Structure 1
Amino acid sequence: MREASITRETTETKIHLILNLDGEGTGNITTGSGFFDHMLHLFTAHSGIDLTLKAAGDLAVDAHHTVEDVGICLGEAFRQALGDKAGIRRYGFFYLPMDEALVRISLDFSGRAYLAYDLRELKEKVGDFDTELIEEFYQGFVRGAGLTLHIDQIRGRNTHHIIEASFKGFGRAIREAVTVTGTKIPSTKGSLD
């Protein structure tokens, strides 16, 4: 089984998560932010992973540290669970329509952390959630996982739909990339570190 367990404790956050890449898409997720929990549940459902996540952060300040650190920890869990990445497809992409919104996700478990983020003209908040934190989540994930990730908004007006399309599409692209199709490391270099 491709699994990982990550614990991170700082003066700003306490996070514990358990990840199973070969799960059924179930999530037991508590971050203190209803909107963020909703997005992470969508991600698990569409990626097919199982995720248990308990995050406690300094939400009295704002959700920045919690969202960023969850991204870092989740990325680290993927790195740990994938090991040397032998046999995986490595690349994943998906176009996700959500009503008027359309978001394209392209990714590569290359070992190189890079984020190209283009969700634009978002309203400042969805409920009480600061939408600028979505980029912080993805940046944390990219750093933790060693992932190249491109997120492109093709169209959209509704902020909730745009963000939701990104999380669902991210899940679908991840599912494709981590699927095992062989035994070799998918790189002419022989390594994806």
Structure 2
Amino acid sequence: MGLAARTAVVSRVTNETKIQVSLSLDGGVLPPYEPTTHWEAPTDPQEAEAAKKGIVPEKGSGHATQFTPTQQVTITTGIGFLDHMLHALAKHSGWSLAVRAKGDLFSTYYIAKTKKKKKQVPITNLFTAVDDHHTTEDTFLALGTAFTQALGARQSLTRFGRGDAPLDEALSWAVIDLSSRPYAVINLGFKREKIGDLSTEMITHGLESFAQAAGVTLHIGCTYGDNDHHRAEAAFKALAVAVRTACSRRLAGEVGAGDVVSTKGVL
């Protein structure tokens, strides 16, 4: 008898963001997104029919889309480096993952100019700037929610996982416990304010948000590295290795199969 599929489909809708996630912890074909009015349905009849059965990548979805015989990954959050990190996490954890987001990433400036002594004097009447915070935070919260739903009853699991990943001169590590006790300690030692359009502080906060929604204890660090892109990417790859180990299931006949891996008998 085959193992039950571990999949989840989640929508997170707030005043600032609209996020949809489809996740399979074991790869393979993804279930379709939940019906929504926040994205236009495909106009092509074949694409519309396909979208009812599974994930159809958004047109122009970019580099973070990769469909193979064993994995489906397509990420479009509006923040390129966030897409890149989630792609790395999904690929190396063995997930299939689709994420699409609409967030308040825009900035609007209204400038009025008046003449004064033959000079143009700029006067700011209104300044509205919205950053990457809400989109990143809500994406990780939605992903964490999908993760814990897909995981289901925390039985037959390895539970603990550690991953180490190098990227050129950088070396990062991650340790995870599927504990149902949310906690996160993230120390990646970034030197830059941003990597692409993603604030480095939001990498830390995003991972904390994931741990909160996923119900996991998470420790991630970077041992060394000169390049912040490499530090971050190595960290997400290390997390992927840790997640893949922790989520692996003990099969019938193995010690721990069917058990909750805890001396308390509950997670």
Please state which band the TM-score falls in when normalised by the shorter chain: over 0.9
Q: State the structure with bigger RCO (CA 8 A, min sep 6), 1 or 2.
A: 1
> Aligned partner of 1:57: which letter?
G
1:73 alignment partner in structure 2: 142
Q: Matches of residues 19-38 of structure 1 in structure 2 within 5 Å? A: 19-23=23-27, 24-38=70-84
Under a length normalisation based on structure 1, what TM-score does the superposition of the two structures give?
A: 0.96
Q: Is the 8 A contact 1:25 1:46 kept in 2?
A: no
Q: Is the 8 A contact 2:190 2:200 kept in 1?
A: no
| Deviates most, 126-135 or 168-177 | 126-135
Gaps of 5+ in 2: 28-69, 107-129, 251-256
| Alignment partners' CA distance in 1, 2:132 and 2:73 | 20
Q: Matches of residues 13-162 of structure 1 in structure 2 within 5 Å? A: 13-23=17-27, 24-60=70-106, 61-162=130-231
Q: CA deviation at 1:132?
A: 1.1
* Identity level (%): 46
Q: Is the 8 A contact 1:26 1:44 kept in 2?
A: no
Q: Is the 8 A contact 1:26 1:48 kept in 2?
A: no
Q: Is the 8 A contact 1:102 1:165 kept in 2?
A: yes
For the pair shown, the structure with the greater C-alpha radius of gyration is 2
1:12 alignment partner in structure 2: 16
RMSD: 1.0
Q: CA deviation at 1:58?
A: 0.5
Higher helix share: 1
Q: CA deviation at 1:136?
A: 1.4
Write out the 4+ residue segments of structure 1 that deviate beyond 4 Å after TM superposition: none
| Deviates most, 39-48 or 118-127 | 118-127
Q: Is the 8 A contact 2:80 2:196 kept in 1?
A: no
Gaps of 5+ in 1: none
